[in-house]
Amino acid sequence: MDMKRYLLLTLAIFGVTVQGMAQLSENKCLRIAVVDMEKVQSDYIFARIMRDTLELMAANAAKILQEKDREIENCTYNIQQMLNNNEFSNEQQYKDAVAQLEEKRDSRKETEKRLSEKIVKRQEFFLKELQENLDRYLAEYNKRAGYDFILNKAIVLFGNVNSDITSEVITGLNGNYNRK
C-alpha cells in the first residue's frame, strides 16, 4: 500500500472513530454494516463476467505472443542453419536476415505492450463500473437500512457477524444486473 492510500485509510478510520465517539457521547447508537468484497467479486454476476472476460483476453494475448515467439524461434533457427551450411552468399544477406529477426522481436515487444495496455484499460473500466454499481446500490439500499457506515469487511478487525450484509448486497446487485 502506498503512503498516500495508507494516510487516507488512517484518516478515514480516525474520522470514523471521532465521529463514532461523538455520536456515542450523544447517546446514539452507531449503526455499522460490513460487506465482504471478496465474496462480492466472486458471486456478483457482473464481477464474474468481468473476471472471465479478462482471463479470456489474457489467454488470447498469450496465444498471440506464443505465435510471435515461434516465428522468432524459427527465424533464429533458419539463420543458424544457413550459417552452419554456408548458405549466405555475402555479408549483406546475413545482415538482412538478422535485421528481419530484430524486426520480429520488435514486433513482438510492441504487440505485448499493446495487448497489455488493452487488458489494463479493460480492467480499469470494469473496476470503475463495479465500484459505480456498488456505490449506486449501497446508496439505494441504505435509504431503507439506515446505516451510518458500510465498510469493507477486510478492514474490520473485530465486529458483530450480524452486521454482515454481503448476501443482501450480492442479491441486490445481481437483481439490478439482471434487469439491465
State what percent of residues in the chain have pLDDT above 70. Answer: 84
Return the H-helix or E-strand segment holding 117. helix 91-145
pLDDT band at 149 (very low <50, low <70, confident <90, very high): very high
Specify the pLDDT at position 156. Answer: 86
For residue range 104-135, what is the model confidence (pLDDT) as tens digits?
Answer: 999 999 999 999 999 999 999 999 999 999 99
Band the pLDDT of 158: cuts 50, 70, 90: confident
Cell of 101: 529477426
Q: In angstroms, rounded to a whole number, what is the distance separating the alpha carbons of residues 31 and 24?
A: 11
Residue 98 has pLDDT above 70, yes or no: yes
The per-residue pLDDT for range 69-85, each reduced to its tens digit, is: 999 999 999 999 999 99
Outline where DSSP puts E strands in the chain: 32-35, 149-152
Cα–Cα dist 54/129, whole Å: 14
Q: Quick one: cell of 99?
A: 535485421
Q: Which domains does the chain have, with CATH numbers?
A: 20-179 (3.30.910.20)
Going through 42-168 in order, the beta strands assigned E by DSSP cover 149-152
Summarize the confidence of residues 28-43 as an average pLDDT: 92
Q: Which residue from 167, 151, 161 is spatially nearest to 32, judged by alpha carbons?
A: 151
